[in-house]
Chain A
Amino acid sequence: MSGRLVRAVAPGGPPVRILVDGVEVTAYAGESVLVAVLAARNALRRHEFSDEARAGFCLMGACQDCWVWLVDGRRIRACTTVVAEGMHVSTGAPADFPRHD
């Protein structure tokens, strides 16, 4: 599928290129990581305890369901973090991160 979210307004603002699992995705300055990823993908991450795909829920920084990894090892809350040029988002945990299930 293309993306889950639909940009209903001409995006406006300069494009920002990010990587999602190594694939380039075009976003726009000021967009959240959640918008950037979900406009191109079905989901944001895998749930730690079940392997379910998750795509966030509250979209306002309360439910904490949209925390994703960056390839550099940081973790960010996708709905409240703005995209930056070259940011590399990983929808999975790093290979050496311990599994919970």
Chain B
Amino acid sequence: MTRVAIVGAGPAGIAAARVLSARGAAVTMIDEGRRPGGQIYRQPRPGLPLDIETLLGAEGENYRRTHAVFDDLRQHIDYRPLTLAWGVEDRTLHTIRGNAAATVEFDALILATGATDRTLPIAGWTLPGVFTLGGAQVLLKEHGCLIGRRVVFCGSSPLLYLAAKQYRAMGAEIVAVLDTTPFGAKVAATLELAAAPRMLARGLGYMGALRRVGVAVHHGVELRAFEGAAGVEAVRLRSRHGDEITLPCDAVAVGFGLKPETQLAELAGATLAYDNTFRQWLPRADADGRCGGNVYVAGDGATVGGAQAAALTGELAACAVLEDFKTAVTGIDRAHSRRQVARLRRFQRGLARAFAWPTDLIHNLADSVVICRCEGISAGELRASIRADFGPREVNRLKAITRCGMGRCQGRFCGLAAAELTARTLRTPLEAVGRLRTQPPIKPIPLAISLAENSAAAVRDETSAPA
């Protein structure tokens, strides 16, 4: 029996588990979450009377279907929630739940680790009340909570419009939606966006709906600062006409697209390749998610593609595993799925153009702005280090010298900005300054650990039916 470890329980992980489990593979699913669904299909906590399917709107049906698939699957796989996969070597995954450590031996490893928000440093971004855009949505889905009463949604992402719409429906005052990309960039990307006409129409629908209810939507703004004393009290921006505007608020959701969680893929031996559209380093994989060896990637953790592409790539990765371990795959039209994925990823590339990563915002940062939130390292400290005699020429050296990226998040939220700043300061292409290398453990783990039994019985969770 082929032993397959799947990391992640979002749409990609669940789709992969379904295909593998139905064909006799022994699936162990490692989920950092408390309940399956990942971030996109995060479930409300038990007892919370939130109508999640209505809140999710067009995605509500997919939410319901994905969780129905998991419920059918639950008894056939070894599901381990609240468990962090913190390292991998050869055919062993190292996990921890609370302070109970365990290992998972596998023949094949499918990494469906998803993504986090791509953010960039802005003056005041460490103030209480400034949260990531994805975080603002997760809080609403799981806890029925809003990040504040008067909220500014800003950055560059189609999710700005969706999140603002959801927040408004739940009673928040939307102060404004501030999109840093000019409207013209969206028009220019229409050809690529037309690869997924239904999604394009849905996105335009969100924008229109916000305007109709009188929400101020500004394109092409420059975010200058989040201001406040004990917490955020205003967003200062420059409009596309050059006016300086200050918008009072008590919360900010900020996001610039997504950033795949590639740490485990890197530790498992996948090659990371620079992608100039996303300006990020992504695991190199074939169309079915094969990274070489016994490692496979699926979903947004491979390349940002959205929930539908995630489920399709999860299926494709599962089929690839079956094929590589000599199990016949029938009943799945893989050629069709590959075409769909290619189309959805083309759409995402269009989105990356329509909602650009505003690198100039990073280069224009004042020296006083904090780049590394964990260690409190400023843009000025990085620039001084880079310009010094024999200064760093790539980001790992920069980290060693300045501690930028050395904190608890391990560069997840400063690494891209630090690389952009280094490249611009040195006047070299972004890929020439490299990327922060991953070190295990990929997230903080306690020093005091105990060895748990490697069995499903040792892992109690909230999805099991009461005995």
Contacts and interface: CB of A to CB of B under 8 A. Distances in A.
Interface of A is mostly: loop
A62 B409 contact: yes
Interface residues of A, number: 42
A43 B231 contact: yes
A59 interface: yes
Interface residues of B, number: 52
A8 interface: yes
Given A61-B443, A64-B374, A4 B45 contact: no
A22 B248 CA distance: 33
A14 B47 CA distance: 9
A97 interface: no
B132 interface: yes
A5 B373 contact: no
Contacts of B409: 62-65
A57 B373 contact: yes
Interface string B112-133: 0000110100000011111110
A64 B408 contact: yes
Contacts of A5: 139, 145-148
Contact of B128 (A12, A43, A82): A43
B48 A6 contact: no
A25 to B, nearest CB: 15
Interface string B262-292: 0000000000000000000000000000000
B44 to A, nearest CB: 8
A55 B444 contact: no
A10 interface: yes
A42 to B, nearest CB: 5
A9 interface: yes
18 contacts: A4-B129, A7-B143, A8-B144, A9-B49, A9-B170, A13-B47, A28-B47, A32-B142, A44-B128, A54-B126, A57-B131, A57-B413, A59-B135, A59-B138, A59-B139, A60-B116, A63-B413, A65-B373
Given A11-B144, A55-B128, 19 more contacts: A4-B250, A5-B146, A8-B172, A9-B48, A29-B47, A30-B46, A35-B139, A42-B230, A44-B128, A53-B230, A54-B128, A57-B131, A57-B135, A58-B132, A60-B116, A60-B138, A63-B409, A65-B374, A77-B444
